[in-house]
Amino acid sequence: MSKLKELWITLKSKFITYHKLHVSYNAYFGDEDDREFIVRKFLTKKEKHLKFITSDGKTVEIQGVEGLNYRIEEL
């Protein structure tokens, strides 16, 4: 049964696109307040609100009153 599960995970990973998300809480990228995530799926992408599922399967929600500065790269 584990061989079948490994085959399913390998096959599924060929069709899932991951993204790298860089979030800065101020206007400058490269500060110590920046965070980086590997995202499997975005649930909400708005100017002041991001909600997504990471590659580990955790749900993360980020909000900013003045807006968020973020970059999204496709891996």
Eight-class DSSP state of 1: -
Whole-number average pLDDT of the chain: 83
Please tell me the distance from the alpha carbon of residue 75 to that of residue 67, in angstroms, as a whole number.
25
35 φ, ψ (degrees, to nearest 5): -130, 155
Say what the pTM is: 0.71
Beta strands in the chain (DSSP E): 19-24, 35-45, 49-54, 59-63, 69-74
Instruction: For residue 42, give the amino acid letter.
Output: F
The predicted structure's pLDDT at residue 66: 78
List the chain domain ranges. Answer: 17-74
Instruction: Cite the DSSP H helix spans in the chain.
Output: 2-13
